[in-house]
Amino acid sequence: MALEIGAVVEGVVTGITNFGAFVQLPEGKVGLIHISEVSNVFVKDVHDFLKDKQQVTVKVVSIDEKGKIGLSLKALMPALTEPPKRPMERRPMAARPQAPMNFEDKLSKFLKESDDRLLDLKRNTESKRGGRGARRGD
């Protein structure tokens, strides 16, 4: 039986690398499951999903002109119905929804932030000039 794209075949994992796993296929052929084709979830280490000499069922996803065979475990898995959960996003206090502010509150907040920025700017420029009244060579 000749291998063709889309075929589902059985094989044995013969080696695991940081970029994927090599699988011994029928008729003595060897294919590669790239790390991106191992699972539907993020794969940091292939060893977490596959073991040496493990029997696997894979789908042939590519065969190039040199005879290299690309395999996939992910293609045989059911699609995820919802994206994987991420840790709760932490937003700064200013980005969180707040009660609407009136004009005076907005103006005072703007003035305070503006003064803070101006003070930081003055500190940075003075330190680059050597500070106030600092003279060299005295």
Q: What is the chain's mean pLDDT, rounded?
A: 83
Q: Provide the CATH number for the domain formed by 8-76 in this structure.
A: 2.40.50.140
pLDDT in tens, 32-76: 999 999 998 888 999 999 999 999 999 999 999 988 999 999 988
**pLDDT score recorded for residue 56:** 93
* Contact between 63 and 6 (Cβ < 8 Å): no
Q: How deeply is 63 buried, as exposed, middle or buried, from its count of CB atoms within 10 A (0-12, 13-18, 19+)? A: middle
What confidence tens digit (pLDDT) does each residue in 72-116 have? 999 888 876 665 566 656 656 555 566 777 888 889 999 999 999
Phi, psi of 99 (to 5 degrees): -65, 150
The pLDDT of residue 133 is: 56
3-class secondary structure, 12: strand
Q: Which two tokens stand for residue 2?
A: 């000749």
Chain-centroid distance, C-alpha 34: 16
Q: According to the model, what pLDDT value does residue 78 have?
A: 80
> What pLDDT sits at residue 88?
59
- Contact criterion met (CB below 8 Å) for 43 and 20: no
